[in-house]
Amino acid sequence: MDKHPSAIKPESWLVSAGRSSEPGAPLNVPLVPASNFILGTERGYSRDDATPTWEALEEVVGGLEAGRALAFASGMAAIAAVFDQLSAGAVVALPDDCYQGVAGLAAAGAERGRWTVQRLALDDTAGWIRACATADLIWLESPSNPLLAVADLEAICAAPRKPGAIVAVDNTFATPLNQQPLEFGATVSLQSATKFIGGHSDLLAGVATTRDDALYHAIRTSRELNGATPGTLEAWLAVRGARTLAIRLQRAQETAMVLAERLEAHPLVERVRYPGLPSHPTHATARRVLRGFGSIISFELRGGAEFADAVCRGVGLVRHATSVGAVESTMERRAAIPGQTHLPPSLLRLSVGIEDAEDLWADLDQAIRAAAP
């Protein structure tokens, strides 16, 4: 790739990054299934030195996030590498609503005495600013999973922080197209490339991106020592999927707005949580810090868990499955998952794909009405 990402639009970067410009080179990023290489250059063993396929993924995401990226075996592997930087007795500030894997990792470390954990509401900007002065890791997830609260990253990342503190932002739901945490001053931005980057429900991968050279090398060392390296096929699939991220996200979030507005007006829906709706508690913040509102909707039904489960069983075009960010729409009742008991029992998380908006609405509406008590 000849052009720096700042010289072209993100949509063009997604298509062009990671490709070779050498005459005779393959147009597409090659799949390099090699664990080791002929000695004589800096690349000898893939766990330590990466492969050209991983590096292509790192170039694509790093350019979008405006930093240096490191690819991992999964989003949780990237997250664990950040937590791995904490010293014994560290203080972790964590949102009260966040991905259950992160909450579980933080709780497990606290139980072993590795660190202490403070939980804060994501919209408590003043509380987060205070936490920056005392916490060693300020962990933000914006929009949050699954209540879709949006943090004021601009204010929090600019706040004075404890020397050596890490401000980490899980940017998976926003994607680097809608939000660039490093531009606000975050130390590291995380992506579960399993979701929007890959976009086809066919891989596990994660990416951590930073501008801090010391942190970059420390996270890379954690990846090497813990063996948290991505598979070559997975990295190749993630690069291939990323090529269409811009058009997938545009279509999906346009449809998400249509569905969110209709769900909000539905007589059997109690509440809709979508950052693009004026009724959303952090809508004003979302308008200021996000370039787009994303394609995830959470909504509560006027009934209990059984009603919500019946709706999940009743959809056809929408798939009853976990995870988000793929071409197909998926939906699940999040409170049914261990560790999510803080959620309303009837809350459904809908990940909107690229299907026709009217077909999706017809499917949702019939499922809700058919399952009504």
Q: Which residues are catalytic?
A: 47, 99, 170, 195
Residue 9 to residues 48, 141, 196, 246, Cα–Cα distance (Å): 32, 25, 18, 11
User: Under a CB-based contact definition with an 8 Å cutoff, are residues 278 and 264 in contact?
Assistant: no
Residue type, 207: V
Residue among 231, 180, 234, 240 nearest 210 (CA): 180
C-alpha angle 161-164-167 in degrees, rounded to nearest 5: 60
Helices 357-371 and 245-264: crossing angle, nearest 10°? 40
3 state SS of 314: helix
Other beta carbons within 10 angstroms of residue 2's beta carbon come to: 7
Write the DSSP symbol of residue 93: E
Other beta carbons within 10 angstroms of residue 126's beta carbon come to: 12
Q: Which segments of the chain are extended strands (E)?
A: 68-72, 90-95, 115-120, 137-141, 166-170, 188-192, 206-210, 269-273, 296-301, 319-320, 330-333, 347-351
The DSSP-derived string for 317-364 is SSEE-S---SSS-EEEEGGGSTT-TTS-TTEEEEE--SS-HHHHHHHH
Q: Give the CA count within 13 Å in the CB-facing half-sphere of 34.
A: 16
